[in-house]
């Protein structure tokens, strides 16, 4: 089958498609609206007949004709991606186009040999209630190009996967059974405009339905709800495109959502306070304009999403025929000099980028998915979403209006693969010849159509503050024309486009400076010389795997530099598909796991939630950094800084909790009244006892009542302070050791050194070179030799910055550490073994196979109670890179999997990701610390640990304690973790690996393709010798 001109011509992007319009919903009456079901719509979702072809040459020709029976074809559900239903295969690709290296085509051409085609057929009857009325077909989302026939007649064609395409069917319908046929191409010329970083799917993936209209019909609605400059009163402007003639009536009712109560359209509109009403007679074909003043408007914001309900009723001859409900939000968003302001206040975006994605259905998202995402965002202080990188389902905007989230609505445009090899600020036409859309006139119509479709559908949502012209599409005149077009339509929002950072030929394309992944300090430097516009990071703190280190630096920047107004984390949810491996076990699959080539591996795993919507440990840091209150605690007072724009702290309950050595002593509540953007201090409502110990005071602000997104008691912000010192275990063990010091016995022969005391024994083996046995209470607690460790498994960010290559010697040092000399003049092995009063000291020296070679020493001090004091020392070799970790590794039997610690938690924390920790007592199991990032990597570490126990169900095990240290307890060694590309590739747990360390390098997070861990979060090698001391003993 030869490809039609519309598939291969970028200037043809639609045929017979209706003009884009607002996303309002029409009901036959108010009663229908209250039931939530409209008689004007008829869903075509469900089972369709389906035929697949791997390319257009093999697609069935003539299937759309009435004499071609398709009833024996396969069945496929709609909406769905065909790749999720057993046809073609999912393919994840980031920058590169999915056909690169597979099909030899030039920029703008369409693959033929490799271009799956999906043929859909739906046999249906028109509902009786549609009789005698015009009927339309609405495709809410088809990826990527679609041809449509009804009863053998060609209806039309559409592109743009992420905005609706609608067509009139009236002239082609017949009584009885109708045959609707769709041919969906995975790629047309429009595929060059949809090179987003995601799985490449195709098919009908959003709702498809029929709808009908009366002779008098509201086709398009534009609402402007603007407060005046003093933010007291407002003006409501309504513009409506109407078909036919009749009477139209308007009613505006107060439908205010305060911080604690939000009714999701459950109340009968007639019960709501009436603010304004009016009736207008309409003549045929009129675009109606009406305007009215509204007194004392309640303003919409993410903090307080106050809304009004506008109801519009169309009548013919006194009979109501259409009822349209529309939520309205009054808010004023503007540029004030070089600052973005919402309702008069400087706004800071605490945002995320969000792909529409789920692990079981891909981009087929449900209402439940969307609500869950929004609730998770609200619970974790996220206030903004960028719809990366395409318009989302229409319902998502409605929910953001209701719950309160700011939005950057992004045009479905990305051409990253056409310019990835072009240097920034290139002006040479020869080098720009393959860049799309650039200045190429044949692409202008398509990109203008895309921004128009987005704008027309979404224009009435108060949550949208900025229109984005797309993502990573370089620059040029065409994108500038898009920005100018949308400015001509909308004066109440700003225009965003990050590509100007790469191509500044048309700087007026964007109203804000926007960049991606710029380190905080470089943002500061840029702002100092670019003060004419506000600045945002539309993507930052790349959340790939175990990441988001040093995020707090950006938050501090927003407090110190007014024109830096926040950023959007990349990104919200992992893109991974629930799949079965060769053993029939479910796992999360990423690029390449479906056999697709090319692919970009696990680069799709950048979420702060997993693909199944479970929360990652990174979210703890996000929530803290994004909280709207800073709480500072001293021994006598609490200072609360309110960074909210419109919300007083009195709407939350302040709660102070006092802990001693991790155990709760007291809870006190108190009232506060800190107005927005002010700071107040209050007496601490509890006293720190004089008794020795470590005291932690945590002061939080909690919801006073249930909200739609969280229950009463949910903590929105906290601060903490620690007083005193923890010495409890050390003092008890010292007392016990003194009582038993006469029972201590050392036994030394040619090979081994043994130490025995009451209830315990220790064995050092000369052949293996170290501590090989620790028995306590008759149980052997060590599975293997205890040795120093200098390595942690790389995280995704490390792979991007070549950390394994730079630091690889330390992995070898950990794996091949030896007590046997392997070079001249090495003094390694057993150094000394001595018993003095109440203790035995044994010292080993080890050689490390680094270049130049290096060494370390272990001093073991065994006390009479069974306590073993460990001192690790390392003579720093300046020529060597910093090590990833400095500590010890213990291997226990697998039944010792229960972990309890007094330290930082509750989630994993690292040197550059510990702003959000709370000092407390926590517990889990070794396997719980293997966070299911798509690729196994360093995970589960805890810092600030005062003590930790690793035990079996019976209670036997080890206790580690000392000055605050780091702890990792998992079933695997770092080598095993990094050697697996999926979790199912890890061995069945056969041991528990305990790493106790003084320091570990941070996980980084500025980006995942080159940026390194910040210097202050690397190990300190400034001193000639590094030392680490801690103790362990058996559990009683």
Per the residue annotation, which of 322, 414, 472, 481 is the catalytic one? 472
Take residue 305 and report the two structure tokens written for it: 């999403």
104 burial (CB, 10 Å; 0-12 / 13-18 / 19+) is exposed
* Inter-helix orientation angle 394-403/444-458, to 10°: 40
CA-derived radius of gyration, the chain:
33
DSSP state of 270: G
Whats the size of the chain, residue-wise? 1036
Whether the Cβ atoms of residue 158 and residue 18 lie closer than 8 Å to each other:
no
Take residue 1027 and report the two structure tokens written for it: 């030392």
Residue 296 falls in which region: left (phi positive, over 0), alpha (psi -120 to 50) or beta: left
DSSP state of 61: T
Give the Cβ contact number of residue 390 at 10 Å.
26
Reply yes or no on whether 841 is catalytic: no
Per the residue annotation, which of 159, 322, 414, 539 is the catalytic one? 539
Tokens 């690793």 locate to 950
Q: Hey, which bits of 214-306 come out as E strands?
A: 217-227, 234-243, 246-255, 274-282, 287-294
Whether the Cβ atoms of residue 463 and residue 406 lie closer than 8 Å to each other:
yes
Q: What residues does 698 pair with on adjacent strands?
A: 657, 720
**Nearest-5° angle of CA 194, CA 452, CA 44?**
70
906 burial (CB, 10 Å; 0-12 / 13-18 / 19+) is middle
The C-alpha atoms of residue 616 and residue 101 are separated, in whole angstroms, by 36
**Nearest-5° angle of CA 470, CA 475, CA 479?**
55
Please, what sign has the CA dihedral across residues 379, 454, 111, 365?
positive
The C-alpha atoms of residue 676 and residue 678 are separated, in whole angstroms, by 6
Whether the Cβ atoms of residue 454 and residue 391 lie closer than 8 Å to each other:
yes
The C-alpha atoms of residue 458 and residue 449 are separated, in whole angstroms, by 14
Give the Cβ contact number of residue 1010 at 10 Å.
11
Q: What residues does 958 pair with on adjacent strands?
A: 950, 1034
Q: What residues does 75 pair with on adjacent strands?
A: 49
DSSP state of 543: -
Reply yes or no on whether 481 is catalytic: no
Q: Which residues, other chains included, contact 850 with Cβ-Cβ below 8 Å and sequence gap of 6+?
A: 809, 810, 812, 813, 877, 880
766 burial (CB, 10 Å; 0-12 / 13-18 / 19+) is middle
C-alpha closest to that of 934 among 765, 759, 799, 783: 799
C-alpha closest to that of 880 among 798, 974, 813, 792: 813
Max CA-CA distance within the chain? 111
**Annotated catalytic sites, by residue?**
472, 539
């Amino acid at each position: 089958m030869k490809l039609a001109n519309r598939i291969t011509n970028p200037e043809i992007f639609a045929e017979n498609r209706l003009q884009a319009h607002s996303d309002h919903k029409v009901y036959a009456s108010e009663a229908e609206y209250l039931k939530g079901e409209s008689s004007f719509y008829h869903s075509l979702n469900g089972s369709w007949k389906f035929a697949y072809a791997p390319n257009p040459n093999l697609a069935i020709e003539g299937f759309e004709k009435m004499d071609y029976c398709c009833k024996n074809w396969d069945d496929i559900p709609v909406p769905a991606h065909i790749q999720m239903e057993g046809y073609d295969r999912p393919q994840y690709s980031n920058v590169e186009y999915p056909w690169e290296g597979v099909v030899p085509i030039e920029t703008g051409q369409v693959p033929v040999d490799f271009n799956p085609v999906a043929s859909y057929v739906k046999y249906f009857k028109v509902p009786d209630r549609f009789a005698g009325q015009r009927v339309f077909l609405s495709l809410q989302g088809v990826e990527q190009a679609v041809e449509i026939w009804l009863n053998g007649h060609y209806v039309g064609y559409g592109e743009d996967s992420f905005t609706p395409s609608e067509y009139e069917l009236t002239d082609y319908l017949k009584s009885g059974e109708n045959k609707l046929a769709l041919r969906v191409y995975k790629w047309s010329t429009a595929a060059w405009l949809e090179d987003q970083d995601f799985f490449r799917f195709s098919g009908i993936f959003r709702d498809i339905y029929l709808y009908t209209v009366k002779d008098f019909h509201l086709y398009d609605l534009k609402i402007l709800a603007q407060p005046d400059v003093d933010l007291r009163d407002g003006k409501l402007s309504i513009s409506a495109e109407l078909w036919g003639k009749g009477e139209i009536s308007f009613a505006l009712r107060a439908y205010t959502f305060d911080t604690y109560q939000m009714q999701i359209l459950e109340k009968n509109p007639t019960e709501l306070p009436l603010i304004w009403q009016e009736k207008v007679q309409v003549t045929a074909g009129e675009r109606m304009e009406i305007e009215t003043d509204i007194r004392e408007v309640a303003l919409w914001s993410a903090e307080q999403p106050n809304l009004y309900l506008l109801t519009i009723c169309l009548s013919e001859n006194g009979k109501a025929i259409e009822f349209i409900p529309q939520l309205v939000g009054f808010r004023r968003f503007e540029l004030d000099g070089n600052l973005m302001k919402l309702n008069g206040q400087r706004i800071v975006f605490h945002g995320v980028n969000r792909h529409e994605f789920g692990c079981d259905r891909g981009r087929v998202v449900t209402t439940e998915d969307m609500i869950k995402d929004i609730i998770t965002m609200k619970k974790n202080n996220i206030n903004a979403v960028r719809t990366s990188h395409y318009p989302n389902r229409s319902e998502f905007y409605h929910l953001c209006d209701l719950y309160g989230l700011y939005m950057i609505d992004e045009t479905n445009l990305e051409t990253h693969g056409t310019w990835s090899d072009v240097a920034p600020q290139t002006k040479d036409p020869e080098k720009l010849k393959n860049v799309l859309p650039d200045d190429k006139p044949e692409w202008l119509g398509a990109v203008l159509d895309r921004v128009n479709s987005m704008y027309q559908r979404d224009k009435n949502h108060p949550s949208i503050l900025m229109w984005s012209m797309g993502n990573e599409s370089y620059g040029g005149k065409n994108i500038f024309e898009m920005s100018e077009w949308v400015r001509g339509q909308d004066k109440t929002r700003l225009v965003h486009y990050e590509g100007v950072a790469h191509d500044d030929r048309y700087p007026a394309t964007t109203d804000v400076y926007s960049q991606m992944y710029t380190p905080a300090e470089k943002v500061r430097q840029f702002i100092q010389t670019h003060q004419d516009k506000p600045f945002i990071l539309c993507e930052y703190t790349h959340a790939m795997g175990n990441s988001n280190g040093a995020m707090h630096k950006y938050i501090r920047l927003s407090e110190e530099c007014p024109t830096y107004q926040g950023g959007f984390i990349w990104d919200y949810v992992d893109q991974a598909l629930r799949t079965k491996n060769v053993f029939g076990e479910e796992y999360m699959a990423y690029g390449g796991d479906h056999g697709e080539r090319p692919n970009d591996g696990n680069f799709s795993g950048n979420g702060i939630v997993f693909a199944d919507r479970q929360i990652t440990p990174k979210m703890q840091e996000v929530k803290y950094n994004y909280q709207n209150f800073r709480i500072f605690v001293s021994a006598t007072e609490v200072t609360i800084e309110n960074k909210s724009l419109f919300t007083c702290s009195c709407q939350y309950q302040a709660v102070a909790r006092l802990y001693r050595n991790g155990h709760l002593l007291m809870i006190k509540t108190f009232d506060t009244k800190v107005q927005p953007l002010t700071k107040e201090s209050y007496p601490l409502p509890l006293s720190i006892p004089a008794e020795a110990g470590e005291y932690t005071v945590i002061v939080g602000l909690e919801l006073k009542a249930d909200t739609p997104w969280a229950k009463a008691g949910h903590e929105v912000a906290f601060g903490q302070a620690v007083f005193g010192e923890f010495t409890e275990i050390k003092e008890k063990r010292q007392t016990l050791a003194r009582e038993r010091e006469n029972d201590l016995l050392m036994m030394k022969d040619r090979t081994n050194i043994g130490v025995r005391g009451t209830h315990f024994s220790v064995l050092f083996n000369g052949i293996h070179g170290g501590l090989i046995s620790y028995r306590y209470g008759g149980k052997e607690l060590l599975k293997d030799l205890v040795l120093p460790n200098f390595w942690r498994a790389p995280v995704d960010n490390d792979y991007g910055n070549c950390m394994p290559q730079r630091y690889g010697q330390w992995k070898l040092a950990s794996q091949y550490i030896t007590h046997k000399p392997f070079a001249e003049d090495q003094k390694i092995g057993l150094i000394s073994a001595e018993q003095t009063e109440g203790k035995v000291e044994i010292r080993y020296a080890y050689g490390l196979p680094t270049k130049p070679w290096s060494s370390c020493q272990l001093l073991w001090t065994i006390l009479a109670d069974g306590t073993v004091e460990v001192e690790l020392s390392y003579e720093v070799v300046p020529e060597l890179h910093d090590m990833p970790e400095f500590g010890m590794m213990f291997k226990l039997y697998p039944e010792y999997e229960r972990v309890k610690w007094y330290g930082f938690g509750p989630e994993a924390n690292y040197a550059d990701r510990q702003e959000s920790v709370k000092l407390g007592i926590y517990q889990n199991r070794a396997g719980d610390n293997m966070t299911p990032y798509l690729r196994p990597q360093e995970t589960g570490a805890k810092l600030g640990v005062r003590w930790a126990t690793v035990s079996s169900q019976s209670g036997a095990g080890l206790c580690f304690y000392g000055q605050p240290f780091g702890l990792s307890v998992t079933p695997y060694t770092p080598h095993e973790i990094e050697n697996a590309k999926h979790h199912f590739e890890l061995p069945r747990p056969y041991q528990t690996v305990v790493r106790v360390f003084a320091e570990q390098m941070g996980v980084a997070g500025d980006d995942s393709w080159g940026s390194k861990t910040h210097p202050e979060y690397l190990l300190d090698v400034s001193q000639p010798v590094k030392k680490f001391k801690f103790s362990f003993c058996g559990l009683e």
